[in-house]
Amino acid sequence: MTIKRKQYSAQFKFKVALAAMKEEKTLSQLASEYGVHPGQISQWKRQLLSEGAEVFGRNGSQQAHAQDAVQVELYEQIGRLKMELEWLKKKSCPVQLKKSGN
């Protein structure tokens, strides 16, 4: 029989990691309180410390996402213009050959 892994929500992880950051209780106490292994709490705490700054940097990621959208739109426009240019070159080339042949 297989045992399914528990999956915790981001809110729960944040709550436990924040409690660990406060250091009011030991990891063992927190583990028994929340029903999570102490090693897992330590991992979530390290993750909170390393990635916590990104929470406040979300405004920058929104700007980057907007820039990416503009860039995609511009690349599409470049593609359309290239196709139009190639089509015009093909259509105008026989006319030039006829004029130079006469």
pLDDT digit string, tens, across residues 10-30: 899 999 999 999 999 999 999
Q: Where does the pLDDT of residue 62 fall: very low under 50, low under 70, confident under 90, or very high at 90 and above?
A: confident
| 9/43 Cα distance (integer angstroms) | 15
- Give the number of domains in the chain: 2
Do 66 and 50 share a structural domain? no
pLDDT beyond 80 at 85:
yes
What's the domain range around 81? 62-102
> Tokens standing for 69?
């959208």
How far apart CA 47 and CA 14 sit, in angstroms, is: 10
Is residue 73 located within the same domain as residue 33? no
Check: CB of residue 20 under 8 Å from CB of residue 51.
no
Average pLDDT over residues 35-63: 83
